[in-house]
């Protein structure tokens, strides 16, 4: 019997403290054949299982071509994530996936790519950014926008610095609360769209973050002339099974775990932002 | 020669024997704790002979009369759902050793040939919807294992309750397929019609006579009369657009004042499929079970995402249930998720009526 809910064993091969309460776990599937078979796309997620505690959905934040270890960036907020945050390298846990529909990397080729993220929203898109940077010639301009509550939450600053140096690439950062010496914007990230250099008719936008931020971002992008089927959003919902069975993640007619978590804005626009959905 | 045959009332036990002889364990309607429940059954005399029921919003009462029929009642709180989609199911077990390795072991379904006697048309419609959910996109191994060996002996419903509205949803009261055998109960016995090879094999073991045209006409009249007695209805048209166009209707707040958010409607609904995954570690920590159990969109945890609740109040939870049941199902599985069984009305402790609420919300539909 093929049990679609059965995890594979994985080992914590690295743990990177990204910010207070935020960390990246590098996981290596124990079984060589499983490691060989495993493939994912940026934007997909895994269910991670902590022994005796339970499962939690976590986005993959590493590059899909990095086959040895799978990166998962996690904020410790709930029962399982807090327990997972204490794991040391060498600890074993369970992993099943990947689940869901990832970012439209192929569709974005030959176009300007705008990536707009807020908070830890950067985790689901960081794999997409890395993907585009490694295949830079396939994309036109690349605009990376990231907003956080506090500058202390701004992880991966070195990467942003490197990305900002790349040709045809613009990095725009914002923080609601800034520490001294902050050179980015103070306030929300979405108004920075006015400074973003991209062709609205020839752009693909990938957005991830808090709902109000994404709603405001979508509004500004539409005003700028980006079509609603070129704007993509990654949604977070209560994922328990990952295969569209348990029912918790439903957004109207959609099972977000299976039909998403990445959606065209056009498809969900009629319901997205309505309280309770 | 008609494929509809007649089984004398005295011969009903032979149906149980035939099923037992074919290796089926029988489940059927029995009276327990003042309700008709689907449980293990071995003999015809264990059926609810002479019982009737009275159902109303928030009310269910069994009544024993001197009638000689076994199926002269509408549905009780459950029928097929718990038999296939188990209320609690272990998905896998895990253990750890000194080296720190974790071993995962799949929990295997236990195959069993199950025959269910007395299934109603609404339950067959509910089963067809659960089939779509648990088998079509991603096969659920437990559901699939039980489903493949399931034999269904349906009974055409002649005694709908006041809460029933299957005629309006188009799902009953006559069995329209999905069963192996269908019975129609008459005073003197049963009309028997087999639809599948498995059903014909069972019927071959029965002592059947020709069913007269008069008997067949009488059975049809009883079913039609039952349909005509149904007082509730849900509009036959697709309510999806009307519901989603009225998400701000004041009716949602009004029903939230009455709704207890208890989830009874979800538990008795033959199509509701939500379930939560749970972890159950052993006391010594050496092993753990990962299981699922029925969940409800009325619980707070159902909409939990990283430290907050997407649906913090009863208004948004009731709205989620109704817009999904009568709206989202159309997109997901091509039809409404409601089969007109009326259980959510009967078993709601405060008697909220889905047909009234749907009509109330959709009445605010803006003119097209």
Site from A27, A76, A252 to mutate, B interface, most B CB atoms within 10 angstroms: A252
Mutation for testing the A interface, residue in B84, B104, B134 having most A CBs under 10 Å:
B104
Is residue A180 less than 8 Å (CB to CB) from chain B?
Answer: no
pLDDT value, residue A75: 87
Q: Output the CA–CA distances (angstroms, integers) from residue A191 to A61, A120, A148, B111, in the order listed.
A: 26, 19, 14, 60
Instruction: Classify residue A276: in a domain, yes or no.
Output: no
Same domain flag for A67 and A148: no
Q: Does residue A275 lie in a domain region?
A: no
Q: Which residues of A touch B84 (CB under 8 A)?
A: none
Question: Do A111 and A44 share a structural domain?
Answer: no
CA distance B18 to A68: 59
Give chain B positions within 8 Å (CB) of A248.
274, 276, 295, 302-303
How big is the CA angle at B355 (ends B352 and B358), to the nearest 5 degrees?
95
Percent helix, strand and coil across chain B, each to the nearest 5? 35, 25, 40
Check if A84 contacts B (Cβ < 8 Å).
no
**How many angstroms separate the CA atoms of A194 and B106, rounded?**
53
Q: What is the per-residue pLDDT for B249?
A: 96
Of the candidates A99, A121, A137, which is a domain's last residue?
A99
* CATH number of the domain residue A13 falls in: 2.40.30.10
Does residue B368 carry a pLDDT above 70? no
What residues of chain B, 118 to 147, have a C-beta less than 8 Å from chain A?
133-134, 137-141, 145
Q: Does B99 touch chain A (CB under 8 A)?
A: no
Dihedral in degrees, nearest 10, Cα atoms B24, B26, B27, B28: 140
Residue ranges of domains in chain B: 4-229, 240-362
Whether B2 shows a pLDDT value over 60: the answer reads no
Tokens read off for B354: 């889905």
Question: Residues B112-120: what's their mean pLDDT?
Answer: 97
Per-window interface: A 41-70 vs B, CB < 8 A: 49, 51-55
Residue A121 confidence (pLDDT): 58
DSSP code for B108? P
Instruction: Name every chain A residue with its beta carbon within 8 A of the beta carbon of B109.
Output: 1
Q: Closest residue of A to B108, CA-based? A: A1
Residue B366 has pLDDT above 60, yes or no: no
* Contact assignment for A240 to B277 by CB distance below 8 Å: yes
- Under an 8 A CB cutoff, do A4 and B141 touch? yes
Domain identity same for A191 and A227: yes
The Cα B26–Cα B35 span in angstroms is: 19
**pLDDT at residue B170 above 90?**
yes
Over chain B, what HEC string results? CCCEEEEEHHHHHHHHHHHHHCCCEEEEEEEECCEEEEEECCCHHHCCCCEEEEEECCEEEEEECCCCCCCCCCCCCCCCHHHHCCCEEEEEEEEECCCCCEEEEECCCCCCCEEEEEECHHHHHHHHHHHHHHHHCCCCHHHHHHHHCEEEEEECCCCCCCCCCHHHHCCCCCCCCCCCEEEEEECCEEEEEECCHHHHHHHHCCCCEECCHHHHHHHHHHHHHHHHHCCCCCCCCCCHHHHHCCCCCHHHHHHHHHCCCCCHHHHHCCCCCCEEEEEEECCCCCEEEEEEEECCCCCCHHHEECCEECCCCHHHHHHHHHHHHHHHHHHHHCCCCCCCCCHHHHCCCCCCCHHHHHHHHHCCCCCC
Out of B109, B288, B317, the one facing A51 most closely (by C-beta) is: B288
pTM (two decimals): 0.94
Check if B295 contacts A (Cβ < 8 Å): yes
pLDDT tens-digit readout, B32-53? 999 999 999 999 999 999 999 9
Dist. CA B361–CA B243, nearest whole Å: 7
Q: Is residue A1 part of a domain?
A: no
- A35 and A161 fall within a common domain: no
Instruction: Please measure the distance between the N-terminal and C-terminal CA atoms of chain A and give it in whole angstroms.
Output: 35
- Cβ atoms within 10 Å, residue A89: 11
Q: What is the pLDDT of residues B145-159, one digit of tens each?
A: 999 999 999 999 999
Provide the shortest C-alpha distance from residue B248 to chain A (in Å): 10
Q: Could you give the ipTM of this predicted complex?
A: 0.94
Query: Residue B102 and residue A78: Cβ atoms within 8 Å?
Result: no
Smallest CA-to-CA distance from A275 within B98, B75, B310 is with B310
Question: What's the rounded Cα separation, in Å, for the pair A167 and A215?
Answer: 30
Percent of chain A with pLDDT over 90: 80
Give per-residue pLDDT as tens, A222-248.
Answer: 999 999 999 999 999 999 999 999 999
Phi, then psi, of A255 in degrees rounded to 5:
-95, 105
The domain tally of chain A equals 2
Contact B367/A at CB under 8 A: no
Q: For position B1, what pLDDT does the model report?
A: 38
Point out the domain boundary residue: A72, A99, A126: A99
Coil/strand/helix, residue B147: helix
Give the whole-angstrom CA distance, residue B313 versus residue B325: 19
What's residue B134's pLDDT? 98
Cβ-Cβ contacts under 8 Å, B327 against chain A: 252-253
Best mutation target, B95, B141, B277, to test chain A (most A CBs within 10 A) = B277
**B275 pLDDT above the threshold of 60:** yes
pLDDT tens, per residue, chain A with 277 residues: 789 999 999 999 999 988 788 899 999 999 999 999 999 999 999 999 999 999 999 999 999 988 899 999 998 888 888 899 999 999 999 999 999 999 999 999 999 999 999 986 577 888 899 899 999 999 999 999 999 988 888 888 888 889 999 999 999 999 999 989 888 899 999 999 999 999 999 999 999 999 999 999 999 999 999 999 999 999 999 999 999 999 999 999 999 999 999 999 999 999 999 999 9
The reply to whether A141 and A180 lie within a common domain is yes
A88 Cβ contact partners less than 8 Å away, ≥ 6 residues apart: A12, A15
Whether B270 shows a pLDDT value over 90: the answer reads yes
Which residues in chain B are contacts of A30 at CB distance < 8 A?
101
At B363, the pLDDT band (50, 70, 90 cuts) reads confident
Nearest CA in chain B to A74: B306
CA-nearest of A104, A109, A149, A116 to A224 is A116
Q: Are B36 and B84 in contact (CB under 8 A)?
A: no
Q: 197-256 in B: which are within 8 Å (CB) of A?
A: 244, 247
Which of A74, A97, A247, A256 best tests the B interface by mutation, with the highest count of B CBs <10 A?
A247
Q: In the sheet that A54-59 helps form, which strands lie side by side, from edge to edge?
A: A54-59, A45-50, A92-99, A8-19, A22-29, A70-75
- Shared-domain flag, residues A54 and A127: no
Chain B positions in Cβ-Cβ contact with residue A27 (cut-off 8 Å): none
Does residue A2 lie in a domain region? no
Q: CB A237 to CB B138 under 8 A?
A: no
Does A258 lie in the same domain as A128? Answer: yes
Report the gap between the CA of B148 and the closest CA in chain A (Å): 14
Looking at the complex, does the CB of residue B101 fall below 8 Å from at least one CB of chain A? Answer: yes
- Say if residue A117 is in the same domain as residue A91: no
Closest approach of B364 to chain A, Cα-based (Å): 18
Q: Is-contact B199 B151, C-beta < 8 A?
A: yes
Are the Cβ atoms of B137 and A244 closer than 8 angstroms?
Answer: yes
Contact between chains at A274 and B247 (C-beta distance less than 8 A): yes
Q: What is the pLDDT of residues A181-197, one digit of tens each?
A: 888 899 999 999 999 99
A99 to chain B, any CB pair closer than 8 A? The answer is no
- Please list every residue in chain B whose beta carbon sits closer than 8 Å to the beta carbon of residue A77: 306-307
What does the block give as tokens for B18?
A: 């035939």
- Mean residue pLDDT of chain B comes to 95
Chain A segment 239-268 residues within 8 A of B by beta carbon are: 240-241, 243-248, 250, 252-253, 255, 258
Nearest-CB residue to B102 (from A77, A94, A241): A94
Is residue B365 over pLDDT 70? no
Select the residue from A9, A22, A240 to test the B interface by mutation, using most B Cβ atoms within 10 A. Answer: A240
Of the three residues A71, A99, A127, the one that is the final residue of a domain is: A99
Q: Between β-strands A54-59 and A250-251, what pairing exists: parallel, antiparallel or unpaired?
A: unpaired
Q: Is A38 helix (H, G, I), strand (E, B) or coil?
A: coil
Q: Which residues of B touch A208 (CB under 8 A)?
A: none
Which ranges of B150-237 does DSSP label H, i.e. alpha helix? Answer: 166-169, 197-204, 213-229
Residue of A nearest to B299 (CA): A248
- My answer on whether A157 and A245 are in the same domain is yes
Is B276 in contact with A246 (Cβ distance < 8 A)? yes
What's the CATH code of the domain at A177? 3.40.50.80
Query: Whole domain around residue A22: which residue ranges?
Result: 8-99
**How far apart, in whole angstroms, are the C-alpha atoms of residue B233 and residue A271?**
28
- Residues with Cβ within 8 Å of A117's Cβ and at least 6 positions away in sequence, in order, are A125, A145, A146, A147, A189, A207, A208, A209
Residues A44 and A118 in one domain: no
Same domain, residue pair A188 and A217: yes
B364 has a pLDDT exceeding 70: no
CB pairs under 8 A between A and B: 135
């Amino acid at each position: 019997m093929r049990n679609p809910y059965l995890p594979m064993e994985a080992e914590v091969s690295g743990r990177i403290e990204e910010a207070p309460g935020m960390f990246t776990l590098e996981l290596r599937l124990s079984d060589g054949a499983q490691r060989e078979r495993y493939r994912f796309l940026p934007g997909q997620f895994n269910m991670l299982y902590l022994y005796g505690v339970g499962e939690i959905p976590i986005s993959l934040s590493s590059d899909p071509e990095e086959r040895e270890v799978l990166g998962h960036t996690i904020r410790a907020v709930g029962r399982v994530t807090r327990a997972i945050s204490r794991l040391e390298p060498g600890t074993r846990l369970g992993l099943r996936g990947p689940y869901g529909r990832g970012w439209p990397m192929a569709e974005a080729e030959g176009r300007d790519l705008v990536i707009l993220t807020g908070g830890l929203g950067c985790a689901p898109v960081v794999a997409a950014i890395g993907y585009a940077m490694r295949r830079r010639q396939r994309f036109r301009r690349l605009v990376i926008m990231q907003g956080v509550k506090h500058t202390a939450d701004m992880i991966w600053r070195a990467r942003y610095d490197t990305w900002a140096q790349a040709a045809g690439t613009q990095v725009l950062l914002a923080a609601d609360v800034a520490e001294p010496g902050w050179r980015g914007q103070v306030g929300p990230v979405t108004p920075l769209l006015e400074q973003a250099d991209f062709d609205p008719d020839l752009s693909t936008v990938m957005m991830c973050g808090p709902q109000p931020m994404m709603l405001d971002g979508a509004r500004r992008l539409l005003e700028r002339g980006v079509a609603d089927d070129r704007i993509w959003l990654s949604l977070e919902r209560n994922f328990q099974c990952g295969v569209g069975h348990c029912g918790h993640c439903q957004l109207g007619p959609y099972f977000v775990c299976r039909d998403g978590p990445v959606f065209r804005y056009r498809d969900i626009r009629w319901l997205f932002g309505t309280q309770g959905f | 020669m008609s494929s509809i045959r007649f089984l004398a009332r005295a011969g009903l036990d032979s149906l149980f024997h035939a099923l037992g002889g074919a290796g089926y364990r029988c489940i059927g309607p029995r009276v327990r704790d003042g309700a008709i429940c689907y449980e293990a059954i071995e003999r015809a005399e264990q059926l609810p002979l002479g019982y009737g029921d009275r159902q109303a919003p928030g009310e269910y009462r069994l009544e024993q009369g001197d009638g000689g029929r076994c199926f002269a009642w509408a549905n009780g709180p459950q029928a097929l759902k718990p038999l296939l989609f188990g209320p609690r199911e272990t998905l896998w077990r895990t253990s750890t050793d000194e080296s720190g390795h974790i071993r995962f072991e799949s929990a295997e379904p236990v195959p069993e040939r199950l025959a269910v006697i007395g299934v109603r048309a609404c339950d067959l419609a509910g089963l067809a919807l659960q089939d779509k959910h648990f088998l079509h996109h991603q096969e659920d191994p437990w559901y699939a294992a039980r489903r493949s060996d399931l034999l269904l002996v349906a009974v055409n419903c002649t005694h709908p309750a006041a809460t029933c509205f299957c005629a309006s949803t188009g799902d009953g009261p006559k069995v329209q397929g999905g069963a192996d055998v269908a019975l129609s109960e008459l005073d003197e016995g049963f009309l028997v019609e087999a639809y599948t090879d498995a059903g014909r094999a069972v019927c071959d073991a029965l002592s059947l006579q020709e069913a007269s045209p008069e008997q067949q006409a009488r059975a049809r009249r009883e079913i039609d009369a039952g349909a005509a007695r149904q007082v509730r209805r849900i509009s036959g048209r697709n309510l999806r657009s009307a519901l989603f166009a009225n998400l701000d209707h004041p009716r949602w707040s009004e029903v939230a004042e009455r709704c207890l958010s208890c989830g009874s409607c979800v538990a008795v609904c033959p199509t509701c499929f939500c379930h939560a995954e749970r972890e159950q570690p052993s006391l010594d920590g050496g092993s753990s079970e990962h299981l699922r159990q029925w969940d409800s969109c009325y619980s707070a945890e159902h909409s939990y995402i990283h430290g907050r609740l997407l649906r913090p109040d009863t208004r948004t939870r009731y709205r989620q249930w109704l817009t999904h049941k009568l709206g989202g199902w159309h997109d997901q599985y091509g039809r409404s998720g409601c089969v007109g069984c009326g259980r959510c009305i009967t078993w709601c402790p405060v008697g909220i009526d889905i047909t009234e609420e749907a009509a109330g919300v959709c009445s605010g539909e803006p003119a097209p």
